[in-house]
Amino acid sequence: MLKPSEFRDLVSGRRRGFGAGVLRTVLRAAEVPYTLAVTWRNRRFDRGRAGARHPGVPVVSVGNLTLGGTGKTPMVQWIARWFRAANVRVAIISRGYRAGADGTNDEALELRQRLPDVPHLENPDRVAAARVAVDELDARAVVLDDAFQHRRIARDLDIVLLDALEPFGFEHVFPRGTLREPVASLARADVVALSRADLLEPADRAAIERRVRSICPEATWLEVSHQPRTLLGHGGQTQPIEALRDRRVAAFCGLGNPVGFRHTLDACGYRVAGFREFPDHYRYGRADIESLADWAGKLDVDAVVCTHKDLVKLDVDQIGQQPLYALLVELGFLGGQETFESRLRTVLKKHVSQVE
């Protein structure tokens, strides 16, 4: 099984050779039926043959066009906090992909720690979850996590995040590329946010924006970054980001796209002596912890660093003899925040007027 970075090397064309070329051809053949199935499903919704239900309160969807991490969780956190600051009771709804035995997945555990006053419902039937949120939990707004492709719930604002490092999925739908659906699907988006935009030059951001606007000219354009805030230990202890600057660290993650995490580590000034990748949503076991301890112990590092998504699944505060920290990041706006907040206020006013 290919690691996330190995898969991207293959579909991007960076991996050369006869074998890689043959494999890309096989993946291209598999891409065709997948694309046809996605297109057929979207047309059913577009033509009204597949109904979408609205729960009767403001619904904001956060999703992406590609596989892997684009920064949905920091965006979901920011929006939920925005509603709470407006004194609106909000609930988060997600599918619960790869949930553990307790019925929660890593993203739910992460959000529970960061947003203890916001209920998070995980259910593959997100329509049913929305009913519970509104009828039983008295939610006055709903944020849908990872829902651009989940069209059974009608939404008032559809937000799509594009990763600045690979915004258009290498121009191919999975499995030949990392697109979940064709780029033309961006026409459904109300807001398009370029995440990790700080990693690109202004001219490169502008080129991506021009292409997006050629597909959805009315969409609000955002440029956002993932800003490191603090180092968090399993027991809740924190350290400033600067505590590990210019020091040797070992780092690991279980993300769909680990490249972004590696860039963040470098931006913090950490000397990454070793970096390990695990599959997205990976459930760590005792053998994994022992393997990591053996690996980190040989690297002569001062600490081991992972993402918050990884830390919530690890019931340890150190790996071997080295302390374990999660690097917490929050959403930062480089452009478009004022217009974005205006659209959120418009959604709220629309539902207030409907109730009145």
Name residues whose C-beta falls within 8 Å of residue 191's C-beta, 6 or more positions apart in sequence. 157, 158, 159, 160, 219, 220, 222, 340, 343
Q: pTM for this one?
A: 0.90
C-alpha distances in Å from residue 252, one per residue of 98, 104, 164, 267: 19, 22, 21, 16
pLDDT, position 108: 76
Residue among 92, 78, 119, 82 nearest 345 (CA)? 82
- Give the best-scoring range by mean pLDDT among 101-115, 187-201, 250-264: 187-201
3-state secondary structure 126-161: HHHHHHHHHHCCCCCEEEEECCCCCCCECCCEEEEE
pLDDT, position 97: 64
pLDDT, position 281: 85
Question: 287-332 pLDDT, tens per residue?
Answer: 999 999 999 999 999 999 999 999 999 989 999 999 999 999 999 9
Q: Which residue has the tokens 């051809």?
A: 25
- Summarize the confidence of residues 106-134 as an average pLDDT: 90
Residue type, 341: E
Greater pLDDT, 99 or 254: 254
Residue among 181, 163, 164 nearest 172 (CA)? 181
Multiple choice CATH, 59-226+332-355, 3.40.50.300, 3.40.710.10, 1.10.3720.10, 3.90.280.10: 3.40.50.300
Cα angle for residues 173, 179, 182 (degrees, 5° grid): 70
Residue 48 has pLDDT above 90, yes or no: no
pLDDT bracket for residue 346 (50, 70, 90): very high
Residue type, 306: C
What DSSP letter does each residue of 283-346 carry, written as one string? ---HHHHHHHHHHHHTTT-SEEEEEHHHHTT---SEETTEEEEEEEEEEEEEE-HHHHHHHHHH
pLDDT bracket for residue 194 (50, 70, 90): very high
Residues of the chain with CATH 3.40.50.300: 59-226+332-355
- Summarize the confidence of residues 110-114 as an average pLDDT: 86
Q: Which residue has the tokens 């599918």?
A: 95
Cα–chain-centroid distance for residue 233?
Answer: 22
pLDDT, position 170: 94
Query: Per CATH, which fold does 227-330 belong to?
Result: Rossmann fold (3.40.50)
Burial of 56 per CB tally in 10 Å (0-12, 13-18, 19+):
middle
C-alpha distances in Å from residue 193, one per residue of 167, 198, 236, 277, 354: 10, 12, 31, 26, 29
Name residues whose C-beta falls within 8 Å of residue 236's C-beta, 6 or more positions apart in sequence. none
Cα–chain-centroid distance for residue 286?
Answer: 27
pLDDT bracket for residue 102 (50, 70, 90): low
Name residues whose C-beta falls within 8 Å of residue 176's C-beta, 6 or more positions apart in sequence. 11, 24, 27, 28, 30, 31
**Residues 340, 183: Cα–Cα separation, whole Å:** 22
Percent of the chain with pLDDT over 70: 96
pLDDT bracket for residue 354 (50, 70, 90): low
Residue type, 150: H
Residue 217 has pLDDT above 80, yes or no: yes
